[in-house]
Amino acid sequence: MKKSKRAAQPRTFKQVMNHLAQNQIVGYFLQLPFFDRFIFISNQRSDGRFEKSYWDLTFLFFYICVFTAARAGFMKYCLLPLARWCQVSPKKYDRFCEQAWSFIYYTSSCTAGIAVMYGSEWWFNTRYFWIDYPVTDYTEAFKYYYLVQFAYWLQQIFVLQIEAPRKDYRELVMHHINTLLLIFASYLCNFTRVGNAVFVCMDLPDAVLALAKALNYTCPGIVCNTTFVMMLVSWMYTRVYLYGCIMVSTWTEPDLYVNFRLAPLEGWWFPHFVVYIIFGLMLGLYCLILFWTAMIFKVLYKIVFTENASDVRSDDEEEDTPVLEKDDLRKRSAPNGLTHRSTAKATHGN
């Protein structure tokens, strides 16, 4: 008697990441060698401070897996029920869950960034971005914060590929690549004080923007519009003004405080031409910020003259965008014709 065999289904990237994260956690609890290096930061000195280590790569890999699993699980089991409870349109389930998750993450990361930065010498005192360079050791909290942020932005490259496309998809790809280059360069070359300040400047308006978008799917009107105006104020102050001040500092102040030389074994990665590389990357990011600033003012115009704060980045996707319940990512790559036929059939059936 022949047994019917089902063809093996290929695993999605999300499933692979979930499996790897589970294995690494199990390996740690079984006290297998080196598995703790995936979960906890490494290279602690005798005085309690931490330095960079090649094991940072394993830490990044593990937390890319963690963010992938946490995002999928939290969206499916917490945010999707919340979307239903808030009576979000089923066609907007994905968008609502994505923005709610972004709000949770950016609020947490901004709070953590302020916590490690507040009271420090470089608390928006740009001189101390460069005084005492190179700073090659960190507190435990600072190293966790910086590497977790690094892992999150690495994972965002994957997120871009599974989210429904946006009008500014190319700009988002450019933004993520530029951001990753800046994070990598700042960590490798010991510019982490600057990186901490930039993270805080970026995360605050991102958190309020994600909240405004989520509210736009649940209660458009005065509450959503008020949140949007709050986002605009934070955006203009942190991303346009404060980040602009950091760029000016990067261009002018290293000449005053840094002894330019290249000695990697001593932590010196700062020949003078590095100023131009860092400033060029920051300028590229600033151009994207100005592009999105123009889009934000477009939404502000809609609020004032049409009383409708629609999301100019995210609300123009196709009407037949799949909802979050269709969890298999392979369904997202189905031919467009199949999707439209299914939609048409459902429409005629009603």
pTM: 0.80
> Which structure tokens are listed for 103?
């709000």
Rounded Cα distance between 203 and 337, Å, is 39
Alpha-carbon distance 35 to 25, whole Å? 8
Which class for 7: exposed (0-12), middle (13-18), buried (19 or more C-beta within 10 A)?
A: exposed
Q: 28-64, pLDDT tens digit by residue? A: 555 555 678 889 999 999 999 999 999 999 999 999 9
With beta carbons less than 8 A apart as the criterion, state whether 167 and 291 touch: no
Overall average pLDDT of the 83-107 stretch: 94
* pLDDT tens per residue, range 233-287: 999 999 999 999 999 999 999 999 999 999 998 889 999 999 999 999 999 999 9
DSSP string for residues in 298-339 = HHHHHHHHHS----TTTTTS-TTPPPTT---GGGGGS-HHHH
Say how far apart CA 313 and CA 316 lie, in whole Å: 7
- Spatial contact of 224 and 299, defined as CB atoms under 8 Å apart: no
The Cα–Cα gap between 172 and 155 comes to 14
List, for residues 282-300, the tens digit of each pLDDT value.
Answer: 999 999 999 999 998 988 8
Give the E-state strand segments of 9-56 in sequence order. Answer: 50-51
Query: Alpha helix (H) ranges present in 253-272?
Result: 254-257
Concatenated DSSP letters of 106-141: HHHHHHHHHHHHTTSTTSS-GGGGTTT----EE-HH
User: 15: alpha, beta or left, given left = phi > 0 and alpha = psi -120 to 50?
Assistant: alpha
Q: Answer yes or no: is pLDDT of 20 > 50.
A: yes
List the structure tokens of 6: 């089902």
Write out pLDDT tens, residues 190-219.
999 999 999 999 999 999 999 999 999 998
Confidence of residue 220 (pLDDT cuts 50, 70, 90): confident
Q: At 168, is the secondary structure helix, strand, or coil?
A: coil
Domain boundaries, the chain: 13-317
Contact 267, 134 (CB under 8 A): yes
Average the pLDDT over 84-98 and give the result. 92
Spatial distance between the Cα atoms of 160 and 176, rounded to a whole number of angstroms: 9
Query: How does the average pLDDT of the chain come out, rounded?
Result: 83
pLDDT, residue 219, reads 86
pLDDT tops 90 at residue 131: yes
* Strand ranges, E, within the chain: 50-51, 137-138, 261-263, 268-270
Q: Is the dihedral of CA 85, 90, 92, 94 positive or negative?
A: positive
pLDDT category, 337, cuts 50, 70, 90?
very low
